[in-house]
Structure 1
Amino acid sequence: MYAIVDIETTGGYAARNRICEIAIIIHDGEKVVKEYQSLINPERHIPPQLSAIHGINDQMVAEAPKFYEEAKTIHELLEGNIFVAHSVNFDYSFVKAAFQDLGYELKLKKLCTVRLSRKIFPGLKSYSLGNICENRGIKINDRHRAFGDAIATAELFTQLVQHDQDDHIQKSLKKNAAVVNIPENLERSVFEALPESPGVYYFLNQKSQIIYVGKAKNIKKRVSNHFGGSKLEVAKQAFQSQIHHVDYYLTGNELIALLHESHEIRKNWPRYNRAQKNNSPGYSIYLYEDRQGYKRLQLGRKQTGMQSLMRFPNHASGFSFLNEISKNLKICPKFAGIQSSPGACFDYSLSLCEGACAGEESVSQHNEKIQAFIEHCKAEKSDYILIGDGRNINESAFVLVEEGFYKGFGFYTEEDTIENWEEFSNYLIQYPDHPEIYKILSSEHATKNYKKIKKDVFLKRKESA
């Protein structure tokens, strides 16, 4: 659990100043589960220049509890949790000093939302709470008061957890990482036997049902992150209590792990997997013919039963492709599905369209351009394989794509002689295609360590050998 803290003070450093307001928001890694706030009598004067910032003056805190009167409640909220704040060292130093005055040494793991934001949301000019909340669409009610700022920080932290694809939260906690706490129903020997290799891992319940599927470059390390609570995909304790066994499948590299994870999630629909649990069909470019015989293009969501010329993981990539290629081929924007108007397209009024939309370009001339577009799509969908590292030093992994569709992956060794393209099928583990797979294979990051070989290049090499 995380204790998100914000304080208001009588000055800028803890040695000579005191807390005059504190708010603590308990966060389980997904959402806020408890809130606390209180004015605190600092037992000293609040300078006017500080009152001008946070609005708290001597009169407001005169009847407020002193820190020692709230210390037990505050300690119960903080104990065992990770101390989170925006510029965490400032808030932590004041709270720690307040407990030291009572003879207690506060020792908590810390996370700074400023530092995390720089890593997870890079490129902002300022990482002040006000600026980053504005950038992330987070509304701050009662700015510069402890509770208002703490609630905003909690919403920011929720977004940080959701977007922490590179485990920056875990890395920040690594220095103070404790021994891995194995769930009560899982034997430590099972955890200790996990490989430190790329692959897919499975959490199984008491009935040996898969309740979660994940992928990792290092299976053991990633599984330990779940138990350490660095990124809580679910309520930690409820999730861990159901884990009775951990199984795994070695893939040799991260790309195969991504592909296999996607398939396993869709095959098993584990209870605690939220990512990829959607049926977004992606987008495709379709071809149809109007009443005058003009062939037209249209970008839309992929529909079962309709043959597409080209498919895309999202609308933006599909539109970019359609716009670029249709312009190069001088296809009327209206007939390419780029523009819509009752009459001629806008480009025609600028003399940039050859007039299919105005009946000036013949059906045959226009349809020749559409045929060129179709041929371009066919070339883009050429058969290819991606070759990368296998599960051991003597093995290679490959991913097979034919006519733009994912066929599966496989492994072969140095002793396996592949003389022709069809022989890859002897080592192929077939898997169904899906738009999510297309997104993975379209990602430069996911495929960066793979060598792409097109079928025609492969065949030419074999002919010349």
Structure 2
Amino acid sequence: MYAIVDIETTGGYAARNRICEIAIILHDGEKVVKEYQSLINPEKHIPPQLSAIHGINDQMVEEAPKFYEEAKTIHELLEGNIFVAHSVNFDYSFVKAAFQDLGYDLKLKKLCTVRLSRKIFPGLKSYSLGNICENRGIKINDRHRAFGDAIATAELFTQLVQHDEDEVIGKSLKKNASIANVPENLDRQVYEKLPETAGVYYFLNAKNQIIYVGKAKNIKKRVSSHFGGSKSEVAKQAFQSQIYHVDYYLTGNELVALLHESHEIRKNWPKYNRAQKNNNPGYSIHLYEDRQGYKRLQLGRKQAGMQSLMRFPNHASGFSFLNEVSKKLKICPKFAGIQSSPGACFDYSLNLCEGACAGKESIAKHNEKIEAFIDYCKAEKSDYLLMGEGRTHDEKAFIMVEEGFYRGFGFYNQEESIEQWEDFRNYLIQYPDHPEIYKILSSEHATKNYRKVKKEAFLKRKESV
């Protein structure tokens, strides 16, 4: 038996809202066999904007039974039957929440007439109840009231059964719970065909716009995790209702997926991505020369036109590097940009500074230290590749960094000959550099399974061969 359900509510999600009307139509697969409807006192205010839609106000439900008073009747109609609704997750979440308030955990098989209609009646521009009923010649009496919509859904269900030549309904009931929870606007076949390998996935809305980007070791498993759990949270409910398609990009390994995800989030600015949605330019150690000829260092935001010696994702990491190296090279902390004072630095009074800030250290000697600092930065910015698994058994993936700048990533077949460093460029997919990328590449956790190949070592090995 199929229990076709429609409800009207005080709001759009079950966590903080209640049912104010419910209708249940029992259907044996061929015809309607029983009808039930009732207003429900939600024991809370019905907002005017909701009343404007379904026409139910506080006065109408004041004398209506509370849910617990109708719970036994509703339970008898639902228990052992298949819960059917148009956008089933919405109705089911409210009914389940109402029973949970009474200490009962409702567990029923579900069918969604939106999803079934997409399979059995393909090609419609919209699968809203109003549109599909108009298309199928079904008249809806008392639209947006529970009984009127439930009766229309029951007639739609009758037609779905009659036209189900591919046994879509039976197959849907056999699907496991995780697949059954796929959002109603998403074609189930799209989900079923998702790869179980590493990559980046995209959720798209009805206008084919990207609304979320994610990365995964296993795309299908990670995508399914977005659809599990309770549907009662307003954010999750709104999010899932906008998912109409899932696209993906295979990367072969998680590190490349991390890098590509970061780029795609900044490029597309998806509505539901929070992390990495910033244009933070990061911090750099800049080099400049004062009027006396002393070369100085300054840690600050990355700026066009200033010579950048080293880049950092945040101020703390930049300051730590600058402080450590300048002390090692005995560079005046004032001229290193660590201290600021009108006269000599604080370290000079402690005999820890050789006096560039007090005019006691020659320009030539001080500038030699700065050149040593520059050389130290160059050594830190050596050209290298990070080598990892590709998208197939015969493929390798690589990430290229040159002069401290991320150049991109690429894939090549292991049978192909890589003789020169420049050969990698034939397979390189170039991407813009960004502080977030530097943060990923400097993470030991993110890069632990990848082999680092420095350019110098690569060239020496080739020369020896």
Cα distance in structure 2, aligned partners of 1:342 and 1:304: 28
Q: More displaced, 272-281 or 188-197?
A: 272-281
* C-alpha displacement of 1:445: 1.2
Q: What residue number does 2:249 align with?
A: 249
Q: What residue number does 1:443 align with?
A: 443
Cα distance in structure 1, aligned partners of 2:382 and 2:357: 32
**Unmatched 5+ stretches in structure 1:** 1-25, 36-68, 84-94, 109-175
SS class of match (2:361): coil
Bigger Cα Rg? 2
* C-alpha displacement of 1:74: 13
Please tell me whether the aligned partners of residues 287 and 297 of structure 2 are also in contact (alpha carbons under 8 angstroms).
yes
Cα distance in structure 1, aligned partners of 2:232 and 2:411: 34
Q: What residue number does 1:220 align with?
A: 220
Structure 2 counterpart of 1:237, which letter?
Answer: Q
Please tell me whether the aligned partners of residues 93 and 231 of structure 2 are also in contact (alpha carbons under 8 angstroms).
no
Q: What residue number does 2:454 align with?
A: 454
SS class of match (1:445): helix
Say how many residue pairs are matched. Answer: 321
Change (3 A) 1:455 1:234: farther
Please tell me whether the aligned partners of residues 280 and 435 of structure 2 are also in contact (alpha carbons under 8 angstroms).
yes
Change (3 A) 1:263 1:178: closer
> What TM-score, normalized to structure 2?
0.63
SS class of match (1:246): strand
SS class of match (2:318): helix
SS class of match (2:207): coil
Please tell me whether the aligned partners of residues 180 and 228 of structure 1 are also in contact (alpha carbons under 8 angstroms).
no
Q: What residue number does 1:208 align with?
A: 208
SS class of match (1:309): strand
Structure 1 counterpart of 2:436, which letter?
Answer: E
Q: What residue number does 1:274 align with?
A: 274
Q: More displaced, 445-454 or 263-272?
A: 263-272
Please tell me whether the aligned partners of residues 96 and 105 of structure 2 are also in contact (alpha carbons under 8 angstroms).
no
Please tell me whether the aligned partners of residues 229 and 236 of structure 1 are also in contact (alpha carbons under 8 angstroms).
no
Matched, 1:382 2:382: yes
* C-alpha displacement of 1:73: 12
* C-alpha displacement of 1:307: 2.3
Matched, 1:418 2:418: yes
Q: What residue number does 2:339 align with?
A: 339
Over residues 330-378 of structure 1, what are the superposed CA-to-partner deviations in whole Å (9 max), with x where a residue is unaligned?
0011111111111111111111111111111111100000000011111
Q: What residue number does 1:264 align with?
A: 264
Change (3 A) 1:181 1:106: closer
* C-alpha displacement of 1:27: 13
Cα distance in structure 2, aligned partners of 1:308 and 1:450: 28
Q: What residue number does 1:323 align with?
A: 323
Please tell me whether the aligned partners of residues 184 and 241 of structure 2 are also in contact (alpha carbons under 8 angstroms).
yes
* C-alpha displacement of 1:238: 1.9
SS class of match (1:270): coil
| Superposition pairs of residues 281-320 of structure 1, within 5 angstroms | 281-320=281-320
SS class of match (1:423): helix
SS class of match (2:227): helix
Q: What residue number does 1:353 align with?
A: 353
SS class of match (1:340): coil
Structure 1 counterpart of 2:442, which letter?
Answer: S
Change (3 A) 1:220 1:361: same
SS class of match (1:197): coil
Over residues 109-155 of structure 1, what are the superposed CA-to-partner deviations in whole Å (9 max), with x where a residue is unaligned?
xxxxxxxxxxxxxxxxxxxxxxxxxxxxxxxxxxxxxxxxxxxxxxx
| Superposition pairs of residues 50-449 of structure 1, within 5 angstroms | 80=96, 105-106=104-105, 180-229=180-229, 235-449=235-449
SS class of match (1:260): helix
Please tell me whether the aligned partners of residues 181 and 227 of structure 1 are also in contact (alpha carbons under 8 angstroms).
yes
Change (3 A) 1:268 1:362: same
SS class of match (2:307): coil
Cα distance in structure 2, aligned partners of 1:28 and 1:463: 67
Please tell me whether the aligned partners of residues 381 and 404 of structure 2 are also in contact (alpha carbons under 8 angstroms).
yes
Structure 2 counterpart of 1:346, which letter?
Answer: F
SS class of match (1:457): helix
* C-alpha displacement of 1:304: 2.4
Cα distance in structure 1, aligned partners of 2:197 and 2:232: 22
Cα distance in structure 1, aligned partners of 2:240 and 2:450: 36
Cα distance in structure 1, aligned partners of 2:198 and 2:233: 21
Q: More displaced, 238-247 or 347-356?
A: 238-247
Structure 1 counterpart of 2:255, which letter?
Answer: L
Change (3 A) 1:335 1:71: farther
Structure 1 counterpart of 2:377, which letter?
Answer: C
Structure 2 counterpart of 1:303, which letter?
Answer: Q
Q: What residue number does 1:90 align with?
A: none
Please tell me whether the aligned partners of residues 344 and 357 of structure 2 are also in contact (alpha carbons under 8 angstroms).
yes
SS class of match (2:226): helix
Over residues 206-227 of structure 1, what are the superposed CA-to-partner deviations in whole Å (9 max), with x where a residue is unaligned?
2222221111111111111111
Please tell me whether the aligned partners of residues 234 and 272 of structure 1 are also in contact (alpha carbons under 8 angstroms).
no
* C-alpha displacement of 1:299: 0.5
Cα distance in structure 1, aligned partners of 2:210 and 2:327: 49
Cα distance in structure 1, aligned partners of 2:429 and 2:277: 23
Please tell me whether the aligned partners of residues 388 and 396 of structure 1 are also in contact (alpha carbons under 8 angstroms).
yes
Structure 2 counterpart of 1:361, which letter?
Answer: E
Cα distance in structure 2, aligned partners of 1:316 and 1:191: 43
Cα distance in structure 2, aligned partners of 1:437 and 1:452: 16
**Unmatched 5+ stretches in structure 2:** 1-10, 19-65, 73-91, 108-175
Over residues 261-294 of structure 1, what are the superposed CA-to-partner deviations in whole Å (9 max), with x where a residue is unaligned?
1111222222222221111010000011111111
SS class of match (1:407): strand
Cα distance in structure 2, aligned partners of 1:441 and 1:411: 18
SS class of match (1:369): helix
* C-alpha displacement of 1:428: 0.6
Change (3 A) 1:178 1:252: closer
Please tell me whether the aligned partners of residues 266 and 278 of structure 2 are also in contact (alpha carbons under 8 angstroms).
no
> What TM-score, normalized to structure 1?
0.63
* C-alpha displacement of 1:82: 13
SS class of match (2:200): strand
Change (3 A) 1:280 1:34: farther
